[in-house]
Structure 1
Amino acid sequence: MRSRHRTWTLAVAGALALAGIGAAAPASAAPSDQELVAEQGNGHYRAEVRRTEYGIPHVLAHDFGGLGFGYGHAFAQDNLCVLADRVLTLRGERSAAFGPTADSGDALARPTTNLASDTYYQGLRRSGVVERLLARPAPLGPTAQVRQLVDGYVAGYNRYLRDTGVARLPDPTCRGAAWVTPITALDVWSAVYDINRLNGTANFKAAIADAGPPAPGAAAAKSGPDFPSAPEDRADGIGSNGWAIGRDATAAHDGMVLANPHFPWSGIGRFYQVQLTIPGVMDVSGASLYGTPVVEIGHTGGVAWTHTVSTAQRATLFQLALVPGDPTSYLVDGRPEAMTRQTVPVTVRAADGTVSTVQRTTYSSRYGPVLATGWTATAAFAIADANANNLRSMNEWLAMDQAQHLDQLLAAQRTFQGIPFTNTIASETGGTAYLADASVVPHVTDADAARCVDTPQGKAAYPHTIILDGAASNCGWGSDPDAIEPGIFGPHAYPALTRNDFAANSNESPWLANPAAPITGYPAIFGDTGTPRGLRPQLGQDMIAARIAGTDGYGAPGFTMASLRDTMLGDRNRSADIGRADIVAMCQANPSLPARDGTQVDVRSACDTLAAWDARDNADSRGAVLWREFFWRLFDDDAPGGWWRVPPDPAQPLTTPRGIDGSRQGVQHALADTVQFFQANHIPVDEALGDAQRYATVPLPGCLGPEGCFNVVSSNPPLGADGRYADLTQGHGSSFIMAVELTRDGPRTSTLLTYSESANPDSPHHTDQTVLFSHRQWVTERFTEAEINADPHLHRTVLRG
């Protein structure tokens, strides 16, 4: 039995009380407990940061301000340059530092120039929206504990910057840079607000910044306006896999969680691994998105959870009927309303170093900002974001960080209703598995859509993009009595499932979280039902079924910690599982195949490589690169998806499509073109995956989601002429991987932060966990005081503000 936590008897107020969470979590006692008592009322902070192997910080304090102080200081040691760059973005000052035409480098949203980015963020700052939300009382505004945590985090970051000095920063990325300055609480809250609107307004920065009325007669020849694509319309973008395993599917009859978020490997979209402890109040371990001082994916002593990006829409468009002759006014119920205008000054630096100010104008409607796309003399589109008033996500995550049982976690979600764009997948010690899209979703019922999606553009886009009639006031969003604010669905409407076996999601709709209990009856704005599943979700469900049955080669039926880890990093490739044999048969029967340019290509060596490949994407796999390039070229066929022998069938969503029809000309072209490329560039057709796919110098396993890979590592094909994919600094994929077993003796956890704790290329913790990932090895988490103190690499720092 592992050493038990010493228990303090302390009152738990604020977020826990609001969430209906009563008893405090048993928490860890540090040997230096007495010297860590915070000085109340005088603005001082104290914390102890214990770093274990791989530089993982365990922050211990006796109040939320001290906890934030220790966390901010630790994070700044590892990643100050990334957050400093993000603050520059949020302040709308990139054009002054780097020029207006350069890309803003936002890894979480669509490509945007610095000028468009600055226009958008300067407009937000000048609007005062974040300050207005901060002025609201909890639960709509931040709780006292969250405010203290953020203030302490800012103080800790600034303390590190002050003590180190910009000129002596260890990270060469921003060492000596004039744009590295102290941060404020407003900067952190602006970052939270921006993340909350990621799958809504924040993904339309350029369309908002560049919007303006058309020149007279410019749209006269148009038959109708174009419309913007949905916020979620990003090819194989951020996503995740998440499993909650219940007592009927585990060997020990307890609960387990697998977290596998797929986020960018560079910039502000990275995760930071941390443990946060206030004795008697909170003890949580997991990961945070850079710049947020709460654990968003993690576990306490009794409950674990993860998130996957859900299919629900976070925003809707409203099509505006413009007043004839006045393209900046629109009609509502037949009455004209003028768009509001905001003048935004942006400081820009020219190539010769001269600085000037550019005046930009943005436009907004009663529904939200007006977009550049589709603005004609007669119509325009505005975007309404369900997270426009959401800073309460921090309240919810901090309350979840203190939950010890699943009902406490659910109480936190019902109270704050602030998860911005993800599903929640959780389990507890008792072995109950839970999944829900308990997130912020615009209140648009199917009946509302039938009534108010009434334009040609709206009907063409529905249901992927919901475009409502902005000319009718009764086409605004509805409301629920149990919703925390008007315009969103309340908790009773969440698609949800509670099971004793499992619930899983891989960014498909909630419908088949467990095929034995389909979730139905939710509005289309949450996602679809009765449709084919993608290859990655199919693979996830197949992996679970095989583990429960014990047919996957990982031991007796039922999940154990070892088999959960092996399943996660098994690196199966679904498209190869269901199609490789057909391609091998095709090329064995046709050793010479026609390329698209008419050349006959000898494919025998490639055919032998695919025949010998085990359909796995390990770093040393030979055949994985060849298959990826072939499969990617299939999408150039005239009828994408038409090359399956058994096409996708909604009646068989988990077992179709199957087989690849080698008689199709497009299939033969795809293989011949692939081999032709390898031959022309002298790339071995049996090149090892790790020779082509790397982060810094570390070979990487994994492949693309569209290939049907669970362990996604998206290094952006096509392959270069040098036989390399772009470095993963330009890609995304498996980031913070967490496998938790919630035993009665406490949590047992294995983790992998695939790109390691620090973005600083000179840090010893820049690629140390990446090497583990390359070799399919894990970090055994140190959660209790005994485990932390037993680490031979332990380093303690006592911080006083």
Structure 2
Amino acid sequence: MTRDTTRRAVLAAALAGGTGGLALSSAANLLDTFAPLSGEAWAAADRPRPETVPSPHGDAAVRVDEYGVPHVSADDETAAYFAVGYLQAYDRLFSMDLQRRLMRGRLSEAVGEATVESDEFHVAMGFAEAAEATWELVRETPAGPLVEAYAEGVNAAIDAEPLPLEFTLVGHEPRPWTPVDSMLMEKQISWTLTGDFSELRRALVADRLGADRAAALFPRRLDHDSPILDGDERRLGGREAGSAADEPPTSTSGAPPVDADLTAWLSGFESPTGVGSNSWVVAGEHTESGSPIVAYDPHLSLMAPPLWYEQHVETPERSVRGATFPGVPFVIAGANDRGTWSFTNVGADVLDCYRYEVDEAGERYRYDGEWRAFDTETETIPVSGGEDRELERKRTIHGPLIEREGRRVGVAWTGHTATRTTVAIDELGRSEGFDDALEATRKFDLPTQNLVYADADGRTMYYATGKLPIRRIDGEVVAGDRIFDGSAGEGEWSGFEPFGRSSWNGFVPFEEKPHAIDPDVLSTANQRVIDDPRHYVGVVYATPYRGSRIADRLEAAVDGDEPITPAFNRELQRDVRDGRAAQFVPDLVAAVAEADGGGDDASASSESASARAVDAAETLDAWEYRMAADSRAALVFARWLDRYRDRVFGQSFDAADLDETYYPNDWVLARLPDDDPLFDDRSRAAIMVAALEEALDEIDEAGWETYGDWNSTRAITHPFGGEAPFLNYEELPADGSPATVMNYRVDDAVGSSWRMVVRPGTDATAVIPGGNSGDYFSDHYDDQLRAWLANDQKAMSLDIEAVEADETVAFRGDSS
């Protein structure tokens, strides 16, 4: 039976059951009900790729390879990007429309009341207005006509092609695509990576637990020795890294917290938990070929279809291939015929929160010694099947004012102004070497990213991109990890114009951002950038588990006798050793050994260890700390760690009315001293044993045998997978954990969302978690899923003539 026949049978079964037949899960997160199904669903099931498409911009030829990757060639750039828009819309139109609706606050117009609160947040934040300001800037650059041509291509596909199945299920049609919508995708990506209200949570924790206790459990600087930079790297102009004397101290007390309910509500719209990435570069002197190698895997939300879309564009101005987000014309991370580039999240602090003195009517706020009226506008949020909502949007001199049930907080975010990131990405695609790439990097305003670059000339580079604010109180530079008094003008950003065009003259100069010119070996895994930064960057960095493991393995390889190959880098991307296990397991094994033998019926609250706990400890003692899908020990450790974390933090945090989202990270948990107040009258060993008994209960009840029984691809779902489960991917066992290089986080559906290994100017490989098509009936809906699980990367050739086409599309100009 063919895959197409199988999928048609699945749809037929769903249709036979009517709308109710689709509502098979209570895990729905977007839809309350589907629109009535009709024969239109069958039209969506029959969407052959067109053989020819008329184009107002001239000819373009497209070869679609065996993995559904389009390879576009054209003599004119606008013709190429008209084709790119058409092809992205053909493959991913529903994803594009969904993200656009999310950021505009228009989800409820399509799916009903379930998403009203999301719409209220996104309208209040003004992402759409920020995108409009960005387009006004971008349209004046060489990228502008290409973005316009791309939008025309999207709209041509909307007009000419049957709509994907999801539009039939939801019962709405997409509006025309605009260049502003593509800028909105830039804002969406940036918000996903930098939207962070951690200062609100820090203030709340300090209020509930006390400043000293909060400082101990949530240190601003984790005590490890694995930063990205060691401070001795060569910088622009040959200067060394700046002294820590210039960095402002972080906050130790701060203002009282914003209301806990408002803080919790805002936290629901932040960057997803666990978002991160790996990247590294090895200079040619250490590689087998003599050419540098860049390896990259960004850890973002995993879903069906994937976040990323692979494409290849060749014109007289560029030959670039790699991954982009649907809705974005240009390759974001990838390679051209001269260089390669990748991005991981810095964790920089580019969002500040403000308190204001507000009058009793709530219509004015005090600023600079006088009362000012809020910039106010009423907006309507359409709600399908329900009553439309009216939202009064308010803004201050710093940016949006977020209000909810009488509580309010002001927000400043670097994405709220016109940004040039689209221009930077366009220029990277056309770059011909180091100088071009460096100049493009200057324009990368948002998000703050660790750029890792290498080129065919052997040049390498690391740069912390994005605009970094400098804050002051009474003329003194301060860190941004606090809530500022907006009425007093504390911490405001000089040179920043919300929803306009900023001069950025009060931000960290480009030459003073952390960077390294021509590093030999350098890796990033979201850990802190440098121990002693010249300027404040932030405090929200990842634990060092991934960073330390990558650095250790690269150092060992460089010190070894064998030069480094692309195959070594792909194998390193598959590394599943969990540094947390190395910290916890010896103590757990010792705790079980010291416990009395209480028999199989030992209580989970007892200090005794049951026979099954002793067996589990023996399994863990022989384990190599690898989070492999076929490992019993990995299963026991993963389920034990969750139980142990709850038992250590739960009692104290519950008493302070702080839920598990406020728990300290695992690095802090592993290094708690025996006399920490969290242990109170309980010993660490007793808690460890009790948590193990509880974990074994869970494992037995669920019937799990190995790690992959629990750690599976069940987390990778379609946005409508709760209502239409057939849209989800197959459930398969997966390797990896939140702390391993091969990153997979089954609890929050985050992991390696794209992997590539590139030798610039020569060869490259890549894979995505699923398939390049968002069409459920396409062979390319999930054809890379198993390869992604194994990190079996396919070739990513830049030779368009060598591409074997499974399909072709001819875009014909008016004169053709």
Which TM-score applies when normalising by structure 1? 0.74
State which of 186, 193, 198 in structure 1 corresponds to 2:187: 193
Could you say what secondary structure the match of 2:388 adopts? strand
For the pair 1:394 / 2:391, whether they are aligned, the reply is no
State which of 546, 552, 561 in structure 2 corresponds to 1:536: 546
User: Match for residue 394 of structure 2?
Assistant: 363
User: Match for residue 150 of structure 1?
Assistant: 147
For the pair 1:610 / 2:620, whether they are aligned, the reply is yes
Amino acid in structure 1 at the alignment position of 2:397: R
Amino acid in structure 2 at the alignment position of 1:702: D
Amino acid in structure 2 at the alignment position of 1:195: I
Q: Conserved in 2, the CA contact under 8 Å of 1:735 and 1:755?
A: no
Superimposed CA distance per residue, residues 491-525 of structure 1 (whole angstroms, 9 cap, x where no aligned partner): 122111124421221112211xxxxxx6x333223
Amino acid in structure 2 at the alignment position of 1:467: I
State which of 259, 264, 271 in structure 1 corresponds to 2:301: 264
1:272-671 equivalent positions in 2, closer than 5 A: 272-278=309-315, 280-323=316-359, 325-349=360-384, 353=385, 356-372=387-403, 380-414=408-442, 416-444=443-471, 448=473, 451=476, 465-473=481-489, 475-478=491-494, 485-511=504-530, 520-527=532-539, 533-550=543-560, 556-587=561-592, 590=595, 592=597, 596-598=604-606, 601=610, 602-638=612-648, 647=671, 664-671=685-692
For the pair 1:244 / 2:281, whether they are aligned, the reply is yes
Superimposed CA distance per residue, residues 253-293 of structure 1 (whole angstroms, 9 cap, x where no aligned partner): 32111111011122798111111111x31011110022111
Superimposed CA distance per residue, residues 601-654 of structure 1 (whole angstroms, 9 cap, x where no aligned partner): 4324423443454432333333322221112222124366799998389xxxxx
User: Match for residue 5 of structure 1?
Assistant: none
What is the rounded CA distance, in whole Å, between the counterparts of 2:435 and 2:745 in structure 1? 36
What is the rounded CA distance, in whole Å, between the counterparts of 1:389 and 1:642 in structure 2? 36
State which of 55, 60, 73 in structure 1 corresponds to 2:68: 55
Cα 1:188–1:475 change in 2 (3 A) is closer
Could you say what secondary structure the match of 1:672 adopts? helix
Cα 1:173–1:630 change in 2 (3 A) is farther
For the pair 1:775 / 2:790, whether they are aligned, the reply is yes
Cα 1:663–1:364 change in 2 (3 A) is closer
What is the rounded CA distance, in whole Å, between the counterparts of 2:121 and 2:684 in structure 1? 49
Using the TM superposition, give the Cα deviation of residue 83 of structure 1 relative to its aligned residue in structure 2, in angstroms.
Answer: 1.3
User: Match for residue 694 of structure 2?
Assistant: 673
What is the rounded CA distance, in whole Å, between the counterparts of 1:183 and 1:143 in structure 2? 19
What is the rounded CA distance, in whole Å, between the counterparts of 1:224 and 1:117 in structure 2? 20
Q: Which moved more, 1:758-767 or 1:585-594?
A: 585-594
Cα 1:798–1:484 change in 2 (3 A) is farther
Q: Unmatched 5+ residue regions in structure 2?
A: 1-51, 202-254, 497-501, 650-663, 674-681, 717-728
What is the rounded CA distance, in whole Å, between the counterparts of 1:192 and 1:796 in structure 2? 30
Could you say what secondary structure the match of 2:142 adopts? helix
Could you say what secondary structure the match of 2:398 adopts? coil
What is the rounded CA distance, in whole Å, between the counterparts of 1:202 and 1:292 in structure 2? 23
Cα 1:164–1:316 change in 2 (3 A) is same
What is the rounded CA distance, in whole Å, between the counterparts of 1:642 and 1:358 in structure 2? 42
Cα 1:237–1:491 change in 2 (3 A) is same
Cα 1:648–1:246 change in 2 (3 A) is farther
Using the TM superposition, give the Cα deviation of residue 699 of structure 1 relative to its aligned residue in structure 2, in angstroms.
Answer: 2.2
Q: Conserved in 1, the CA contact under 8 Å of 2:302 and 2:749?
A: yes
Superimposed CA distance per residue, residues 552-590 of structure 1 (whole angstroms, 9 cap, x where no aligned partner): xxxx44421111111111322222344434444544565
Using the TM superposition, give the Cα deviation of residue 762 of structure 1 relative to its aligned residue in structure 2, in angstroms.
Answer: 2.6
Using the TM superposition, give the Cα deviation of residue 343 of structure 1 relative to its aligned residue in structure 2, in angstroms.
Answer: 0.7
Amino acid in structure 2 at the alignment position of 1:525: V
Could you say what secondary structure the match of 1:387 adopts? helix
1:98-177 equivalent positions in 2, closer than 5 A: 98-100=111-113, 102-103=114-115, 113-117=117-121, 119-120=123-124, 129-136=130-137, 141-166=138-163, 169=164, 171-172=165-166, 174=168, 177=171
Q: Conserved in 2, the CA contact under 8 Å of 1:591 and 1:603?
A: no
Using the TM superposition, give the Cα deviation of residue 764 of structure 1 relative to its aligned residue in structure 2, in angstroms.
Answer: 1.2
What is the rounded CA distance, in whole Å, between the counterparts of 2:476 and 2:794 in structure 1? 54
Q: Which moved more, 1:385-394 or 1:173-182?
A: 173-182
Q: Conserved in 1, the CA contact under 8 Å of 2:133 and 2:418?
A: no
Superimposed CA distance per residue, residues 274-320 of structure 1 (whole angstroms, 9 cap, x where no aligned partner): 11111x31011110022111111111122111101112112212222
What is the rounded CA distance, in whole Å, between the counterparts of 2:707 and 2:733 in structure 1? 16
Using the TM superposition, give the Cα deviation of residue 396 of structure 1 relative to its aligned residue in structure 2, in angstroms.
Answer: 0.4
Cα 1:336–1:643 change in 2 (3 A) is closer
Amino acid in structure 2 at the alignment position of 1:471: S
What is the rounded CA distance, in whole Å, between the counterparts of 1:404 and 1:189 in structure 2? 25
Identity of aligned residues (%): 19
Which TM-score applies when normalising by structure 2? 0.73
Task: Give the RMSD, CA atoms, in angstroms.
Answer: 3.8
Bigger helix share? 2
Superimposed CA distance per residue, residues 382-415 of structure 1 (whole angstroms, 9 cap, x where no aligned partner): 111122223411100000111121221011122x
Q: Conserved in 1, the CA contact under 8 Å of 2:100 and 2:181?
A: yes
Amino acid in structure 1 at the alignment position of 2:700: Q
Cα 1:628–1:235 change in 2 (3 A) is farther
User: Match for residue 765 of structure 1?
Assistant: 780
Q: Conserved in 2, the CA contact under 8 Å of 1:226 and 1:374?
A: no
Q: Unmatched 5+ residue regions in structure 1?
A: 1-35, 105-112, 208-221, 454-461, 512-517, 551-555, 650-660, 717-729
Using the TM superposition, give the Cα deviation of residue 62 of structure 1 relative to its aligned residue in structure 2, in angstroms.
Answer: 2.0
For the pair 1:88 / 2:101, whether they are aligned, the reply is yes
Q: Conserved in 2, the CA contact under 8 Å of 1:343 and 1:360?
A: yes
Could you say what secondary structure the match of 2:329 adopts? coil
Using the TM superposition, give the Cα deviation of residue 234 of structure 1 relative to its aligned residue in structure 2, in angstroms.
Answer: 5.1
Q: Conserved in 1, the CA contact under 8 Å of 2:350 and 2:414?
A: yes
Could you say what secondary structure the match of 1:635 adopts? helix
Using the TM superposition, give the Cα deviation of residue 592 of structure 1 relative to its aligned residue in structure 2, in angstroms.
Answer: 4.9
Q: Conserved in 1, the CA contact under 8 Å of 2:53 and 2:809?
A: no
What is the rounded CA distance, in whole Å, between the counterparts of 2:354 and 2:791 in structure 1? 48
Could you say what secondary structure the match of 1:423 adopts? strand
Using the TM superposition, give the Cα deviation of residue 203 of structure 1 relative to its aligned residue in structure 2, in angstroms.
Answer: 8.0
What is the rounded CA distance, in whole Å, between the counterparts of 2:430 and 2:736 in structure 1? 36
Could you say what secondary structure the match of 2:516 adopts? strand
Q: Which moved more, 1:307-316 or 1:596-605?
A: 596-605
Q: Which moved more, 1:635-644 or 1:747-756?
A: 635-644
Cα 1:449–1:154 change in 2 (3 A) is farther
For the pair 1:699 / 2:732, whether they are aligned, the reply is yes
1:216-227 equivalent positions in 2, closer than 5 A: 225-226=258-259
Amino acid in structure 2 at the alignment position of 1:477: W
Cα 1:114–1:381 change in 2 (3 A) is closer
Superimposed CA distance per residue, residues 105-158 of structure 1 (whole angstroms, 9 cap, x where no aligned partner): xxxxxxxx354256448x655xx554444334xxxx345432222222222222
Amino acid in structure 1 at the alignment position of 2:644: L
What is the rounded CA distance, in whole Å, between the counterparts of 2:791 and 2:293 in structure 1? 20
Q: Which has the higher contact order (CA 8 A, sep 6+)?
A: 2
